[in-house]
């Protein structure tokens, strides 16, 4: 069996409401290849030296840094969005992470949104770190839809060097994830693997528990020789115990490795 080059990482957001430190411990114990650090309100997630110590102690690399661009992180690492990205870049460089994940701006961040595409290119030209812009989704309330992101929640409409595909976001947007991956082409550099059922809420289910083409996506990545990172970013808040949360994360890892390897095994050697 040929082992794909893609590494499987655990997002530290996947253990919430437990801590960033707990995510490193679980990732190491379950055999993940690394972690993606979600920079948010947990002080440890914002502290480069603390993250380095966790990485060294658990012997698990930090493969990506998710910039603090959620609603709940508007004041983390400054209120200026470009400062946030510069700090995310510096953190990635110091921690040896190859990717910074970033969301498109909120529509009310008008100046940031106006300069975003060109600004991401400028930053990408200054570093070896990939700035992988992530697909989002319209916000919905009952039958109403609000476009919360600019230039667009569908990042394939803009010219970015690298993309992140998030399958839960594709589900919430009710868009075809495989077609989106086709549009991203060889600029797809990063994957957030999670499932969904098309709810207006961003579900981030364990892969295999929704109706998204998680298995097909993994198989396509393996066959195409994808060498980026596949990050498990799931919601385990409803877990009744730490053991149940860890079981969910073990299941997600097994699902991912199975479908990456089974597809790679079918590719004939040259």
pLDDT digits (tens, 9 = 90+) for 170-189: 999 999 999 999 999 999 99
Q: What domains are there in the chain, each with its CATH number?
A: 7-265 (3.20.20.150)
pTM: 0.93
Percent helix, percent strand, percent coil in the chain, to nearest 5: 45, 20, 40
Average pLDDT score over the chain:
93
Helix runs in 159-241, H state only: 167-173, 177-184, 214-224
What percent of the chain shows pLDDT beyond 70?
96
Helix runs in 163-213, H state only: 167-173, 177-184
- Which of the four pLDDT bands, split at 50, 70 and 90, describes residue 270? low
Does 2 score more than 60 pLDDT? no
Does 39 score more than 60 pLDDT? yes
Structure token digits, residue 27: 């990732």
Give me the pLDDT at residue 140, please: 84
Give me the pLDDT at residue 268, please: 55
**Residue found by looking up tokens 């499932």 in the block:** 195
Report which of 221, 204, 208 is spatially closest to residue 168, judged by C-alpha positions: 204
DSSP element (H, E) containing 242: helix 242-265
Does 241 score more than 70 pLDDT? yes
Structure token digits, residue 141: 């309330």
């Amino acid at each position: 069996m040929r082992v794909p080059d893609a590494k499987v990482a655990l997002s530290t957001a996947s253990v919430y409401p437990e801590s960033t430190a707990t995510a490193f411990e679980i990732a190491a114990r379950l055999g993940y290849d690394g972690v993606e650090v979600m920079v948010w309100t947990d002080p440890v997630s914002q502290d480069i030296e603390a993250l380095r110590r966790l990485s060294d102690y658990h012997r698990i690399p930090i493969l990506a840094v998710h910039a603090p661009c959620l609603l709940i992180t508007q004041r983390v690492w400054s209120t200026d969005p470009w400062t946030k990205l510069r700090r995310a870049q510096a953190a990635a460089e110091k921690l040896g992470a190859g990717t910074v994940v970033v969301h498109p701006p909120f529509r009310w961040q008008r100046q940031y949104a106006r300069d975003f595409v060109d600004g991401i290119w400028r930053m990408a030209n200054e570093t070896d770190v990939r700035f992988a812009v992530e697909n989002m989704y319209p916000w919905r309330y009952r039958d109403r839809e609000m476009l919360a992101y600019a230039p667009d929640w569908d990042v394939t409409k803009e010219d970015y060097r690298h993309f992140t595909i998030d399958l839960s976001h594709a589900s919430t947007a009710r868009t075809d994830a495989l077609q989106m991956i086709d549009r991203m082409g060889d600029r797809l550099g990063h994957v957030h693997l999670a499932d969904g059922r098309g709810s207006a809420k961003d579900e981030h289910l364990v892969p295999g528990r929704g109706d998204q083409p998680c298995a097909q996506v993994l198989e396509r990545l393996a066959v195409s020789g994808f060498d980026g990172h596949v990050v498990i970013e799931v919601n385990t808040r409803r877990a009744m115990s730490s053991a149940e949360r860890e079981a969910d994360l073990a299941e997600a890892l097994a699902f991912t490795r199975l479908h990456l390897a089974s597809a790679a095994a079918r590719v004939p050697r040259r």
